[in-house]
């Protein structure tokens, strides 16, 4: 059963609020909320394919995530920079 839209919006806002704050002030509970949201992303899985203690490393990376907004036509990453 799908969650009501208002609950999804509220949860999304919680995630955005967490990501707007500096990683150093995030609580373990907040990081615990973020980890399951990203652990199945293929890019993230590739990073940790051959690493030990994946959960610990993923927590470290998630603690550094931020929320950024970019214009539709802007480059987010440039190869080699």
Burial 64-77 (b: 16+ CB within 10 A, else e): ebeeeeeeeeeeee
Domain residues for the domain of 52 are 13-62
pTM greater than the 0.85 cutoff = no
In a domain, 2, yes or no: no
- Taking alpha carbons only, the member of 67, 55, 54 closest to residue 26 is 67
pLDDT tens digits, 9-67:
888 999 999 999 888 899 999 999 999 999 898 888 887 776 665 556 788 888 989 88
In a domain, 1, yes or no: no
In a domain, 5, yes or no: no
In a domain, 71, yes or no: no
In a domain, 38, yes or no: yes
Overall number of domains in the chain:
1
């Amino acid at each position: 059963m799908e969650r009501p839209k208002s609950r999804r919006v509220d949860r999304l806002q919680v995630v955005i609020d967490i990501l707007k704050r500096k990683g150093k002030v995030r609580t373990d509970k907040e990081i615990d909320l973020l980890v399951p949201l990203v652990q199945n992303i293929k890019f993230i899985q590739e990073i940790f394919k051959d690493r030990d203690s994946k959960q610990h490393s993923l927590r470290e990376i998630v603690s550094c995530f931020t929320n950024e907004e970019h214009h539709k036509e802007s480059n987010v990453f440039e190869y080699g920079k």
